[in-house]
Amino acid sequence: MADFKIGVAGCTGRMGMVLLRQIAGTDGCAISGGSEAAGHPALGRDVGAAAGLGEIGIKITADPADLFAASDAVLDFTVPEATVRHASLATETGAILVAGTTGMGSNDEAALTKAAKRAAIVYSANFSVGVNVLMRLVELAASILDEDFDIEIAEMHHREKLDAPSGTALALGKAAAAGRGVELERVAQRGRDGITDERRRGDIGFGVLRGGSVVGEHTVIFASDNERVELVHKAQDRSLFSAGAVRAALWARGKPPGFYDMQDVLGLKD
């Protein structure tokens, strides 16, 4: 069987280069290309050379349509506006879209859901196997521990991260809310400053820290008057996200159009 051709949008970014190296190191996969925004200084460079892999004879393009046309799957950890455009290209070319873009709003997610009627799209706030297991554990814990247990979610990332709370923290909040049978938007407390009212029973709180080169740390705390349960995940290297993204692309090979997530890939759904 021919190598599975995987391209990377935003290929010279912090995550993009890790994804390229992951593809190159995965049996049965080959780099099909990489794209960057118009005006980016890396345009025209060899994709492999940009990731420290040596030249592979494929230039970085500013046209994502070229990338999708050359690929069986495209990995996208860029920005919401670009990811929505890439979802449309997936419907036009039949390529699989694996998206790990954070900061996606409800309208952005709706656009991906619409595109998934005509393309296989795997979208997840986090492609770590451990984080996805954590989400299931959080949902289970929230279903067992009633509102006598306050839920707080603390996360820390590197200083350059733009969105807050992180997409993973919000996904953990959704898991906790699902366990409680409520909508996160109704119970989320995303910031406290100054003199605040007493904590509302049933709220799910978020705390955000930024600094240094922290890849990603998430702690979900269930705190009652007499005891505290903490579920923690610490990412130590971005390769865990790239390994999950490539695994998702391979899993989606041959799948019908649909809106999938990492829980589907790992078989964690009921």
Catalogue the active-site residues.
157, 161
Rounded to 10 deg, the angle between the 80-93 and 106-115 helix axes is 10
Strands in the chain per DSSP E:
4-9, 29-35, 73-76, 96-99, 120-123, 150-157, 188-189, 204-210, 216-223, 228-235, 258-260
Burial class (CB within 10 angstroms; exposed 0-12, middle 13-18, buried 19+) of 5: middle
Q: Are 215 and 236 in contact (CB under 8 A)?
A: yes
Token digits for 73? Answer: 């799957």
